[in-house]
Amino acid sequence: MYSELAGWWPLLSPPSHYLDEAAELRRLLPRTGSDRSTLLELGSGGGSLAFHLKSDFDLTLTDLSPEMLRVNATVNPEAEFIVGDMRTLRLGREFDVVLIHDAIVYLTSKEDLLAALRTAAHHCRPGGTLVVLPDFVRETFEPKTDCGGEDGPDGRGLRYLEWTWDPDPGDSTYEVVFALTLREPDGAVRVELDRHTDGLFSRLEWLALLAEAGFDARREQDPWRADVFVATKPG
């Protein structure tokens, strides 16, 4: 999904799917006054969430996948793009806001999660804000299925089935499989399967790791009852 199929991302998860989530996120994000704030997103993917933030922030968007950043650049041409791993990235700059959306779930150990939070701390100015939005914490995880997809103006179409479950509740991961049905402009159809292993941590683990990374953090719940971690770097 994030390499050879990256070009299909606008039909899987376009900006129009993020209107409500972006409105809720903007409520949590601080402003620095009349000047535009700076925002660094770690694991920005296809840029569908960032699309709704660029009117308020100067964006620096990073991701491990250069293919996804190429898609992102078509959505957010105003932004700065950097290929990098959120566990090790060091830009030598500080930002008013650091954002990590659902890409954080691909970190499946506390060591990797702490490394990413330390990256956030390294890039967050004193008094700045980090917002992290995992898909689940351990207390909210539920198996689920979902489906959707879009048709494109070029004649392509995509439909997906997403299946989420936890094969071992005793460890720190769960599984997600996507079955993707892809239709080309000439009508040819194929099916691709993509399997993901995602990280799952408790609220106490999240808050402890945020503190260890150097943040003062709190937990909120969004209107969809998902946990959001909002943290401040002490000034």
CATH classification of the domain holding 160: 2.20.130
Q: Where are the beta strands (DSSP E) in the chain?
A: 37-42, 57-63, 80-83, 95-100, 124-132, 144-148, 157-165, 173-183, 189-199, 216-221, 227-232
Q: Is residue 38 part of a domain?
A: yes
Residues 22, 116: one domain?
A: yes
The total domain count for the chain is 2
Question: Percent of the chain beyond pLDDT 90?
Answer: 95
pLDDT at res. 31:
66
pLDDT at res. 32:
56
Q: Is residue 53 part of a domain?
A: yes
Residues 175, 213: one domain?
A: no
The domain spanning residue 27 has which CATH number?
3.40.50.150
pLDDT at res. 66:
98
Residues 158, 207: one domain?
A: no
**What angle (nearest 5°) sits at the alpha carbon of residue 109, between those of residues 225 and 24?**
25
Q: Is residue 193 part of a domain?
A: yes
The model's confidence at residue 36, banded by pLDDT at 50, 70 and 90, is confident
For the stretch 13-26, pLDDT in tens is: 999 999 999 999 99
pLDDT at res. 35:
75
Residues 181, 128: one domain?
A: no
Residues 122, 71: one domain?
A: yes
Q: What is the DSSP letter of 13?
A: S
Residues 14, 87: one domain?
A: yes
If you average pLDDT over every residue of the chain, what do you get?
96
Mean pLDDT on 188-215: 98
Residues 20, 95: one domain?
A: yes
pLDDT at res. 81:
98
Which residue shows structure tokens 């993901």? Answer: 196
pLDDT at res. 235:
86
Question: Percent of the chain beyond pLDDT 70?
Answer: 98
pLDDT reading at 33 higher than 70: no
For the stretch 163-185, pLDDT in tens is: 999 999 999 999 999 999 999 99
Residues 72, 46: one domain?
A: yes
46, burial (CB in 10 Å: exposed 0-12, middle 13-18, buried 19+): buried
Residues 11, 111: one domain?
A: yes
pLDDT at res. 152:
97
CB 216 within 8 A of CB 123: no
Q: Is residue 70 part of a domain?
A: yes
SS3 (DSSP) at 68: helix
pLDDT reading at 120 higher than 80: yes
Q: Is residue 1 part of a domain?
A: no
Q: Which residues contact 51 (CB under 8 A, 6 or more apart)?
A: 15, 18, 22, 75, 76
Residues 64, 176: one domain?
A: no
For the stretch 63-118, pLDDT in tens is: 999 999 999 999 999 999 999 999 999 999 999 999 999 999 999 999 999 999 99
| Structural domain boundaries, residue 187 | 139-199
Residues 209, 113: one domain?
A: yes
Put residue 43 in one of left, alpha, beta given phi > 0 → left and psi -120 to 50 → alpha: left
Mean pLDDT on 122-129: 97
CA–CA gap between residue 72 and residue 76 (Å, rounded): 6
Q: Is residue 127 part of a domain?
A: yes
Residues 73, 167: one domain?
A: no
